[in-house]
């Protein structure tokens, strides 16, 4: 159907291109009849971001110039104008981030040719304190460059609307990292097979707070202390293994896993836990029917983790209590796992994310 495709040439700018985003762009590209080109550069040193590889979409390398840092970080992407002139897109999608200094020139290039520009972003936090009214006006002025806003979450949509952007021009495209599962939900017994099994999968970084997971498991009553499997590698692995020898010696560190090996690991677990931030593996865990305990994030986790499929850790100090609650009722845990599977199968997946993008684009060009 024409409504499920875009007839023109699409361009998307990104500061960086992580692997999960490359997967999304390769899903989107076949639905752009005149092609899709991605413009992205390299991350800052120390960001622990691996650059992805595109298989279907076209890629043009940006030269990212990283300026300042922390709360005053700015980025200039050299080559943006040449990329636009060479690709000559019918529609442009830009990251809706005022820290990216080349954005206004790209918008002007498109508007001079009467072509639409979409902004894509997380949302915008509420501002308070000195000069907050002036800062809000600046943010709204920046956002009004865009004809439409795409955002990762319902929270992001509400933040844009509260700032003053037109509600009818905001589209929620949940930040999906996985496709609809092509496998049935794994069958798990009505009782734990010996000890319950808790799983973490991801880069071993300080912000993931795996140290708190080790300590929380140690704080559980003996009959609930789980088999704890920590899958992944990274800068914190040695420190975490040393900590585990002291506080939870039975913890397993099998290293990074992929493919069928990782699928088996997901299928054999009872609960997925990420105490800190980040965690694209959460959606993959849900696709294998796992309930989730997850730390507070940027709003995307609010759409993903709900009262009937997991728990949000508003205070990481509550992790032992939440683990005890989760493991105390196996039948409830199984129901929550089934709901996780349903959410990924029906709502938050790459296919639905692509559909929202195509719908937002076509609203501007049809």
pLDDT band at residue 1, thresholds of 50, 70 and 90? very low
The lowest-confidence range among 17-26, 66-75, 93-102, 259-268 is 66-75
Q: What is the pLDDT of residue 188?
A: 95
For the residues 305-321, what does the mean pLDDT come to?
Answer: 92
Q: How do 63-67 and 74-78 pair as beta strands?
A: antiparallel
pLDDT, tens digit (0-9, with 9 covering 90-100), for 205-234: 898 999 999 999 999 999 899 999 999 998
Is 129's pLDDT higher than 50? yes
Q: Taking Cα atoms as reference points, which of 96, 202, 195, 199 lies closest to residue 150?
A: 96
User: What percentage of the chain has pLDDT greater than the value 70?
Assistant: 96
For the residues 330-347, what does the mean pLDDT come to?
Answer: 97
For the residues 21-28, what does the mean pLDDT come to?
Answer: 96
User: What percentage of the chain has pLDDT greater than the value 90?
Assistant: 80
For the residues 31-56, what does the mean pLDDT come to?
Answer: 92
pLDDT band at residue 295, thresholds of 50, 70 and 90? confident
Residues 6+ apart with CB under 8 A from 326: 271, 291, 293, 311, 333
Q: Which two tokens stand for residue 244?
A: 């585990």
Q: Which domains does the chain have, with CATH numbers?
A: 2-176+349-365 (3.40.50.2000), 197-346 (3.40.50.2000)
Q: Is the pTM of this model over 0.85?
A: yes
Q: What is the pLDDT of residue 114?
A: 96
**Average pLDDT value over all residues in the chain:** 92
For the residues 18-39, what does the mean pLDDT come to?
Answer: 96
């Amino acid at each position: 159907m024409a409504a499920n495709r875009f007839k023109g040439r699409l361009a998307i700018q990104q500061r960086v291109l992580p692997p999960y985003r490359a997967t999304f762009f390769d899903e989107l590209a076949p639905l752009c009849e005149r092609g899709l080109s991605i413009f992205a550069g390299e991350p800052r040193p120390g960001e622990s971001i691996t650059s992805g590889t595109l298989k279907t979409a076209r890629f043009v390398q940006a030269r990212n110039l990283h300026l300042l840092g922390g709360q005053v970080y700015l980025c200039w992407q050299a080559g943006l104008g040449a990329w636009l002139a060479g690709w000559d897109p019918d529609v442009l999608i830009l990251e809706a981030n005022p820290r990216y200094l080349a954005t206004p020139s790209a918008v002007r290039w498109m508007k001079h040719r009467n072509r639409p520009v979409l902004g894509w972003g997380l949302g915008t936090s509420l501002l308070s304190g000195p000069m907050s009214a002036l800062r809000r006006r600046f943010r709204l002025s920046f956002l009004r460059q865009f004809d439409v806003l795409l955002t990762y979450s319902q929270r992001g949509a509400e933040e844009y609307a509260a700032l003053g952007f037109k509600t009818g021009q905001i589209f929620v495209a949940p930040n999906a990292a996985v496709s609809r599962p092509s496998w049935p939900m794994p069958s798990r017994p009505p009782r734990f097979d010996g000890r319950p099994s808790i799983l973490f999968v991801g880069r071993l970084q300080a912000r993931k707070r795996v140290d708190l997971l080790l300590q929380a498991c140690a704080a559980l009553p003996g009959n609930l202390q789980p088999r704890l499997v920590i899958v992944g590698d990274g800068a914190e692995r040695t420190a975490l293994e040393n900590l585990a020898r002291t506080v939870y010696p039975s913890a397993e560190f099998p290293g990074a896993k992929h493919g069928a090996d990782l699928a088996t690991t997901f299928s054999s677990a009872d609960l997925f836990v990420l105490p800190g931030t980040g965690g694209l593996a959460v959606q993959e865990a849900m696709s294998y029917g796992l309930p989730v305990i997850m730390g507070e994030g940027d709003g995307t986790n609010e759409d993903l983790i709900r009262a009937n499929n997991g728990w949000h850790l508003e205070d990481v100090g509550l992790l032992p209590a939440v683990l005890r609650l989760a493991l105390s009722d196996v039948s409830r845990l199984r129901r929550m796992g089934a709901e996780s599977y349903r959410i990924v199968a029906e709502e938050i997946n790459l296919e639905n994310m692509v559909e929202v993008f195509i719908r937002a684009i076509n609203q501007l060009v049809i």
